Amino acid sequence: MRQVAFFGDSKRIQNRVTVFDTTLRDGEQTPGVSFTRDEKISIAHQLSEIGVHVIEAGFPASSADEKEFVKQIASEGLKSSICGLARATRADVEACADCGVDMIHVFIPTSEVQRVHTIRKTHEEVVDITRSVVRFARDRADQVMFSAMDATRTGMAELTEVYRVAVDAGATIINVPDTVGVASPSSMRALVSSLAESIACPIDVHCHNDFGMAVANTISAVEGGASQVQVTVNGMGERAGNADIAQTVMALESIYGIRTGISTERLVETSRMVSHFSGISVGPTQPVVGDNAFAHESGIHAQGVLAEASTFEPGIMTPEMVGHRRRLKLGKHVGRHAVARMLSDAHIVAKESELDEIVAQVKEISNRGRKVTENDLYGIADTVIGGAGVEKIIVLNDIAVINGNHIMATATVRASVDGKETVCCRIGNGPVDAAMKAVIGIVPEVLVLKEFSVSAMSGGSDAIGHVSIAVEDAKGRIYDAGASSDDIVLASAEAMINALNLVYRLKKGE
């Protein structure tokens, strides 16, 4: 096994850990989230393509629609095994079997608090039900996972007994759920090691994030001998969610050198897809996939990273490994090195004293609480240097947008590109989309809009709106730009024009 940065006892750690994704089941239990049929199918395809071993597609007994979704996903011919969730009842198991899933995941509460207050059963009754339902499930599917719900609050003797009974009845893997997220890394590791010692069956782990330890507990379970981890995209799930796929996979791969088989370079793309479908945005400081995961603003960090990236990044995890980009950000902590690099990338030459003035102005604007984009930087440089080489290559001359409840939004843009007039007309999903597409259409480059956000800078229906965008070129370079107007369509079009100017400015001297 290749150990990259883990120095502890590795006696039980497996070389390879499989990934069980429950975004479509526990993830969809996130309050306020409901995926459409098409979104579920797209997510299932994405998970399968990136190498997830098992996809928990849903809980078929919960509704007729849910059953149809699970059936549909099971019939898509995906590389991943498809799993359906079942309470420990024959009816729930039948519902899973009807969907044609590869794996049936049977669960029953085992802790006293849940046994008494939810299913009102004794431990002995739970053991009997487990034996009979797991056997029933195994007659209907090749793979059966058994979960002792609330395992981490269940007495060790009772827990071991119920797992033994499940394995004797045909469970092919046992899952240890930390249902309310109360485990600690050391308790989880001890629990899983003890189960691994007494039960001859692969162990899977399902950790909730109530104390922010879901990923740490999942990794500790692997240290204890678990060979499968349950995760969700963006850590979605009940309450504070589950272990996040990107963080768990990257920690296993990069810190422990464990192979997961996941195409890690597609983790950011997967996160963005699920964020879009779920309507739950990913915070900038979210590890691995957040906007700031590889962004540097402070002068000391940016200078270090420009010299050698691993000075202020883990090094064992690079942005390329997860499909991210390294970004130097402008802000109140920015230093001369980063500003000088950004200007020289745009072929803007500033004298030392001019550079000092530009840096001072960037900091001053940031201190007023405003975000400073590269576009703003060039504007500042223009003022300080006096127009030296920062002219607008692309100028928006006219834009007309037609929209209505019975017509497709259509935008026509007239712009000059390096002095040459160009016209482009596009339809879109609404006026902003049409306008952005028409602007992007005036240049031949393949550019993809990666981020778009609007914030109101004043109150009322005539508020000034600020549009911030990020555009990616074919080489993967990201261009941040923005514009403000009391007309949101115009602000969007201007923001895109500003982004195109950044693209052209960098292209010009290449």
Question: Which residues are near Zn ion by CB under 5 A?
Answer: 26
296 lies in the binding site for ligand KIV (CB under 6 A): no
Verify binding: residue 81, ligand KIV, rule CB under 6 A.
Answer: no
Residue 63 Cβ vs ligand KIV, minimum distance, rounded to whole Å: 16
- Least distance from ligand KIV to the Cβ atom of residue 306, Å: 45
Phi, psi angles (nearest 5°) of residue 306: -65, -30
From ligand KIV, Zn ion, none, interface partner of 505 (C-beta below 5 to 8 A by class) = none
Contacts of 476 (CB under 8 A, 6+ apart): 325
Closest to 252 measured CA to CA, from 264, 266, 235: 264
**Could you tell me which stretch among 91-99, 175-183, 293-301, 403-411 binds ligand KIV (CB under 6 A)?**
175-183
Amino acid at 368: R
Contacts with ligand KIV, 18-57, as mask; x by CB under 6 A: --------x-------------------------------
Choice between 113 and 349, CB closer to ligand KIV: 113
Q: Which stretch binds ligand KIV (CB under 6 A): 10-18, 172-180, 407-415, 493-501?
A: 172-180
Residue 424, SS3? strand
With CB under 6 A as the contact rule, the residue among 6, 35, 107, 146 that binds ligand KIV is 107
CB atoms inside a 10 Å sphere around CB 139:
11
For residues 270 and 277, the answer to whether their CB atoms sit within 8 Å is: no
Contact call for residue 206 and ligand KIV (CB under 6 A): yes
**Binding segment toward ligand KIV, per CB under 6 A, in 43-51, 173-181, 342-350, 354-362:** 173-181
- 172 with 144: CB under 8 angstroms? yes
What values do phi and psi take at 400, rounded to 5?
A: -130, 130
* Bridge partners, 426 (sequence order): 411
What is the three-class DSSP state of 442?
coil
Give 209 or 254: the residue with its C-beta nearer to Zn ion. 209
Distances (CA, A) of 227 to 12, 54, 150, 154, 484: 10, 13, 20, 21, 52
Nearest alpha-carbon partner for 324 in 275, 274, 271:
271
Reduced to 3 states, what is the DSSP secondary structure of residue 250? helix
Given Zn ion, ligand KIV, none, residue 301, with its beta carbon under 5 to 8 Å by kind, binds none
CA angle 20, 23, 26 (to 5 degrees): 95
Instruction: Tell me the CB-side half-sphere exposure of residue 307, using CA atoms within 13 A.
Output: 8
In this structure, are residues 350 and 381 in contact, taking their beta carbons and an 8 Å threshold? Answer: yes
107 binds, among Zn ion, ligand KIV, none (CB under 5 to 8 A by kind): ligand KIV
Interaction partner, residue 149 (ligand KIV, Zn ion, none; CB < 5-8 Å by kind): ligand KIV
**Kindly report the CA angle at 478 between 476 and 481, in degrees rounded to 5?**
155
- Phi, psi (5° rounding) for residue 85? -90, 140
Task: With H, G, I as helix, E, B as strand and everything else as coil, classify residue 49.
Answer: helix
Smallest separation (angstroms) from Zn ion to the CB of 317: 27
With CB cut-offs between 5 and 8 Å by kind, which of ligand KIV, Zn ion, none does residue 256 bind?
Answer: none
Task: Check residue 179 for interaction with ligand KIV (CB under 6 A).
Answer: yes
Stretch touching ligand KIV by CB under 6 A, among 9-17, 174-182, 247-255, 422-430: 174-182
Q: How far is the CB of 486 from ligand KIV (least distance, A)?
A: 48
The contact mask relative to ligand KIV for 114-153 (x = CB under 6 A, - = no) is ---------------------------------x-x----
**Contacts (CB under 6 A) with ligand KIV, residues 366-385:** none
Taking CB under 6 A as the criterion, the residue among 27, 177, 224, 482 binding ligand KIV is 177
Shortest distance in whole angstroms from residue 147 CB to Zn ion: 9
Q: What is the DSSP letter of 404?
A: -
Nearest 5°: phi and psi at 426?
-145, 155
- Between 239 and 370, whose beta carbon lies closer to ligand KIV? 239
Nearer to ligand KIV, 177 or 482 (CB): 177
Question: Rule CB under 6 A: which residues touch ligand KIV?
Answer: 26, 107, 147, 149, 175, 177, 179, 206, 208
